[in-house]
Copies of this chain bind each other. A is one copy, B any other.
Amino acid sequence: MPTEPYRLTASQCLQAYNDGSLTVEEYATSILQRVNERQPTVKAWAHIEPTQVLEQARALDKVPKHQRGPLHGVGIAVKDVIYTKGMPTQHNSPIYANDQPEVDAGSIVLLRHAGALILGKTTTTEFAATVEGGPATNPHDSTRTPGGSSSGSGAVVADFQAPIALGTQTGGSVIRPGSFNGVYAMKPTWAAITREGQKIYSLILDTLGFYSRSVDDLKLLASVFGLKDDQPPTNHHDGVKGLKFALLRTMVWEKAGPGTQAAMKKGADILRAHGAEVTEIQFPSEFNKLPDWHSCVLKSDGRVAFRPEYQVAKDQLDKSLVEHVDEAHGYTRKDYLEAFDGISALRPKWDAIAAQYDAVIVPSVPDEAPEGIESTGSAVFNSMWTALHVPVINVPGFQGEHGMPIGLSLITARYHDQALLEVAKVVGKVWEEEGRWHSKL
């Protein structure tokens, strides 16, 4: 082994199992040592039980080679709003403390069937629906937030405590932690993957997503979850040369700090230097209502989603969620329908714009992870894409004024997830090499 097993990506791990240089038990032991060492600082796990992980690992080692699944023995961390048999699902809510519904989410059924080693549950903001952070910290600087709501999932992948992880996004909950932790993060097309067994905030917004330290690992997960384009890409790009990109600052560009401003410039420069075409574009003005419309849909759907908890234990519910149910936001049903229908009408229009490019480059975050872990930061650059249902991949490579990672998002039209992964592969290569940021972990 060239390295400690815990440092392997999922794809490298599979290779090591395949050539017989590593057992799942050895791998699990290495991961657990890393977790043991880092959990007191990063606090990214809501639940991890070493005995249970090792038992799974030993069982996987006994599976004959020809019966092994595409994720055989690969450790994966699961955001604690996704049901897992044999482990609690607590939603970071006192109402569900130690609650353990004995049911697997659809995504977990697929992962287990693929042979994945389910490591444990990662911290989330309450119901993946608030911005109140804690206890997880950013592994690159524990005085800073790892982002949210998929706080723990982003952090453990960056920190080599798991090669891959599941998150969910309703605003910016997959992409923001991706950027803040300097890892790859993918939010696929809405409803392209089963969301069975995943706590609901907003039916029309919630999307399962995932984290990794390589695009190959994202592709592995995409395949296990059945993400497929109408015309799956048949050959890989050699590099970015000849690819067509759009650079879109969006209607909220005034929220971009110096780190993101520099990353957008540098990202475009690197691509151009490698022979790609990068054109600046702007949203047509009718897209300007997207941020408000997303907020209206989110809060109105929160009214419905949290009514059960509100009725049973209002005093144990975050104030912001109580306000959703109380309709403190002031949105009427009429406002909701205007937003819901308005967003719906924009989706095919965005797809037509995106179809002109191999990918559109947009900010992932306002800037590097802010100081403090009380707030998980802003979803201002993400929520519009969640509303439009399009695939988004955060690609790391850049850094902010304090040396913390910053990523940029690659975006395309709905159901072009596989094509976007191919573009992310070659873009990631040059941005990671030439974008200045490198993990010290």
Contact = CB atoms under 8 A, between A and B. Distances in A.
A333 interface: yes
Contact of A113 (B102, B311, B345): B311
B106 A307 contact: yes
A434 interface: no
A337 interface: yes
A144 B83 CA distance: 39
A369 to B, nearest CB: 31
A204 B191 contact: yes
A11 B204 CA distance: 35
Contacts of A230: 332-334
B109 A308 contact: yes
Interface in A288-313: 301, 303-305, 307-309, 311-312
Given A191-B304, A301-B191, A305-B194, A113 B312 contact: yes
B311 A337 contact: no
A103 interface: yes
A147 B226 CA distance: 33
A312 B199 contact: no
Contacts of A196: 199-200, 305, 308
Q: A193, A309, A333 — which one has the most chain B CB atoms within 10 A of its CB?
A: A333
Contacts of A101: 83, 101-103
A200 B200 CA distance: 12
Nearest to A335: B230
Contacts of A195: 200, 203
Interface residues of A, number: 48
Nearest to A417: B333
Contact of A351 (B99, B336, B337): B337
A225 B311 CA distance: 11
A311 B341 contact: no
> What is the copy number of this chain in the assembly?
2
A99 B197 CA distance: 15
Contacts of A341: 344, 347-348
Interface in A345-359: 345, 347-348, 351
A45 interface: no
B345 A304 contact: no
A304 B193 CA distance: 6
B102 A307 contact: no
Given A101-B101, A344-B345, A106 B194 contact: no
A94 B203 CA distance: 28
Nearest to A325: B226
A78 to B, nearest CB: 15
Interface in A212-269: 225-226, 228-230
A226 B308 CA distance: 10
A329 to B, nearest CB: 14
Contacts of A276: none
A195 B336 CA distance: 18
Given A194-B200, A337-B347, 6 more contacts: A101-B101, A110-B311, A193-B304, A196-B199, A334-B415, A341-B348
* 5 interchain residue pairs of minimum CB distance: A101-B103, A344-B344, A109-B308, A333-B415, A106-B308
